[in-house]
Chains A and B, each alone.
Chain A
Amino acid sequence: MDLFTNLATGFGTALKLTNLAYAFVGCLLGTLIGVLPGLGPLTTIAMLLPITYALSPDAALIMLAGIYYGAQYGGSTTAIVVNLPGESSSVVTTIDGYQMARKGRAGVALSTAAIGSFFAGCVATLAIAALAAPLASVALQFGPKEYFSLMILGLLLATVLSNGPFIEGVAMILFGTLLSLTGTDVNTGTQRFAFDIPQLFDGLDFVPLAMGIFGFAEIVKNLEPHEERTVMTQKITNMFPTREDFKRMIPAIMRGTTLGTCLGVLPGGGSVLSAFAAYTVEKKLSKHPEEFGKGAIEGVAGPESANNAGAQTSFIPLLTLGLPSNVVMALMVGAMTIHNIQPGPQVMTKNPELFWGLIASMWVGNLMLVILNLPLVGLWVKLLTIPYRYLYPAIMVFCCIGVYSLKNDTFEVYEAALFCIFGYLLIKLQLPPAPMLLGLVLGPQIEENFRRAMLLSRGDVSVFVTSPLSATLLGIAVIAVILITLPQIRSTRQEALKE
């Protein structure tokens, strides 16, 4: 069979000693960088790009890819341990992951994330090897109208992230969407709410906001004199998942992987969507929905598997068409160009060793990551025993470095500081920040795709229901609203009856 000869070629390349070494270096660097709050894969790959000049193209790409998924692993570590999502896809992990850490189950949460990510990585790699071409054509089926409907569905699902009333979640999502209106209007180029500040022309960035609202605000809260810091004082109960934990996490991992593999193929928000779609699915299917938001293991296993599978399959548009689906992929394109490989549909036939080598190395990289990360779990958990007076200045410094390095500009650091005040306000008002951040990420996509669909249909709104794919997605959205609101209506009615 073709697949096997191809994979054999791939493993031939990936298992070369030098390539193994570079895959390891990439994974290690990626993990470390991912753990440093704020420093993301983008900055790291950009910094390391010049170093790869001297390497062969396959070694260079294998190392850069290693950094990318290494950072995905590392990013969940900070989300769980210190409530800091390094990128949009790990926002969801903070909800239950951090709560598990507060209960002394940080080790379990970290191991769950590592195991889930490994399984998801393996399955997604296989999917890329076997189904890259058909999956890419599915992605092409998604035009502006289909994206609009998908994002609407996504936003509705995001309300489930809030444990308060439905309306609270909706309010936070809408608020995030409003924030996302800042910047250049795509259709006309007009500036909205930018106040002539060039840094605002591109809108509000995710990372400084997340750092401010999650990271800094959490620190301020922990420094309140009268409140006891639960995080650091709790003793760690167990490091590795128990049999009961496994029983609960395995189905969640399976579902998360499936969702992530499919949604990751879609450029623009695919992997973010997959993480909280997985969370929603888990919360709705779980026998213990009341545990969600308080440290449910499925709330870590599902989203973590989904975002890792998504990260892997987001290589598909790049590998099949040469078109990057996110900024990190754009950087991979740059790396290929610098090494004299023209990214495009022909990479597969012109450079088969490179193409299949990269795919095989994803599997190798995932294995390395799980081997690397499981022993490190103990180390990360120990971080929590560091006295907070030493820990928080370090977190602050790394956050600032990370935020600065995004664009090499101090503006973003001030932005994070400003949103810290806002984040503290949210904590005091007990409003959930996660739906807001997702509103911020998905808002521009909804607006852009809606207006693009309108331009293409010359203003005919019916396109959203005449396209079968779009109609299906909107149908699911309607059902979702009913499913989400029904229990709430019922419970309020019961409360009303009691009175």
Chain B
Amino acid sequence: MKFCSTLAAFAAATCLALAGTSAVADTYPSRPITWIVPFTPGGITDSGARIIAKALSERIRQPVLVENRPGAGGVVGTEFVAKSKPDGYTMVYGTAGTIATNPVLYKNLSFDTRKDLVAVHGMAVSPPVLVANPEKPYKTVAEFIAYAKKNPEKVNFASAGAGTTTHLAGELFQQVTGTKLTHVPYKGSAPALTDVIAGVADVIFDYPVTIIPLAAADKLRPLATLTPQRLDVLPNVPTIAESGYPDGEISSWSGIFVAKDTPPDVVAKLGAEFGKALEDPAVAKYFADNGQVRLVGWTKDKFDPFIDKEMVKWKKLIEASGAKAF
């Protein structure tokens, strides 16, 4: 009876699988994983995701498909994952913006970024860098602060949009240094940078990935990084703390999240594999080149309390900035 024996073998296999710590986690992942990037293709987030996805899929021997679902500063894609099947096969690229600031900016979201999503693993932190048009009279951050204090509201700081981290970093800077700058929002970083290069706007707080090549060509002058330590890619640029304002530190961060109710062992396994993918040499090189610090070893246990603290920090900043969406 061939059929019976197949059946018996199948039953035995099932029993064996059940005998392990977890049936689901042993077989997971058994099919491709979709990684939702809630931004347009080609951005900083998208490139990073694609490089990690390659390393991750080699590790788990399943394709990791990067899918862009842009819209509303990341709300559309994040909502999609928050409401997806909690099986660990759909994960989302979460950022300080999509997880921490969006719930404050958009009051009527149909999901809760903390309750409907589970943090799986951290990815990287990226600190903004204060850069100025090189023709401007200030050459150091101290000179800039002195100039801004002497000319209140005369200095224009550009940002990638109201409520974005580039705007909020500027708000924090004003709070801690006691300066008054005029905020000029743009739609995205590229047009804002263009106007700083042209001298239409004076300064911008933007990320190293775009700043580094422009600073190297003397199109922009970096004044300070808003990190605790100097960046390896900008060794001559002092930190804001060195300049006497330790409270001015701020960073955007990222990590991966899945829908709530995803089995904890699946979350743990995905987190472990993702953590190892972060240590891949190609991934390490990409993040180092772009001035981002990888969050190696930041599993759920370490990532969760960090996010909780950040939620409070960004909320305060938004309320102080007056940026709002109803």
Contacts and interface: CB of A to CB of B under 8 A. Distances in A.
Contacts of A201: 71-73, 75, 106, 325
A333 B162 contact: no
A187 B286 CA distance: 33
B76 interface: yes
Contacts of A199: 71-72, 76
Interface in A320-365: 321-325, 327, 330-335, 337-338, 340, 342-346
B194 to A, nearest CB: 6
A189 interface: yes
Contacts of B324: 188-190
A447 to B, nearest CB: 11
B108 interface: yes
Query: Which of B66, B163, B219 is the most central at the interface, judged by chain A CB atoms within 10 Å of its CB?
Result: B219
A342 B182 contact: no
Interface string B27-38: 000000000000
A187 B187 CA distance: 10
B289 interface: yes
Given A321-B197, A409-B71, A189 B163 contact: yes
Contacts of A268: 191
Interface in A455-472: 455-456, 458
Contacts of A340: 285-286, 289
A53 B190 contact: no
B169 to A, nearest CB: 16
B325 A198 contact: no
B200 A46 contact: no
A237 to B, nearest CB: 43
B70 interface: yes
Interface in A399-414: 407-409
Given A344-B217, A345-B217, A186 B73 contact: no
A104 interface: no
Nearest to A347: B213
Nearest to A318: B190
Contacts of A409: 69, 71, 76
A338 B50 contact: yes
B235 to A, nearest CB: 17
B232 to A, nearest CB: 15
B69 A455 contact: no
Contacts, number: 159
A140 interface: yes
Contacts of B265: none
Nearest to A445: B187
A187 B162 contact: yes
A45 interface: yes
Query: Which of A189, A324, A344, A448 is the most central at the interface, judged by chain B CB atoms within 10 Å of its CB?
Result: A189
A330 B197 CA distance: 18
Given A140-B197, A198-B76, A345 B41 contact: no
B285 to A, nearest CB: 8
A49 B41 contact: yes
A327 B40 contact: yes
Contacts of B289: 340, 342
Contacts of A338: 47, 50-51
A360 B326 CA distance: 50
A198 B217 contact: no
B325 A184 contact: yes
A141 interface: yes
A50 interface: yes
Interface in A292-309: none
Contacts of B67: 408
B116 to A, nearest CB: 14
Contacts of B73: 201
A50 B37 CA distance: 15
Contacts of B24: none
Given A338-B50, A455-B182, A456-B184, 16 more contacts: A140-B197, A188-B322, A190-B325, A201-B325, A202-B70, A202-B72, A317-B194, A323-B194, A334-B42, A344-B214, A346-B217, A448-B187, A452-B184, A452-B186, A456-B200, A456-B201
Nearest 5 pairs of A and B residues by beta carbon:
A344-B213, A334-B42, A201-B72, A331-B42, A345-B217
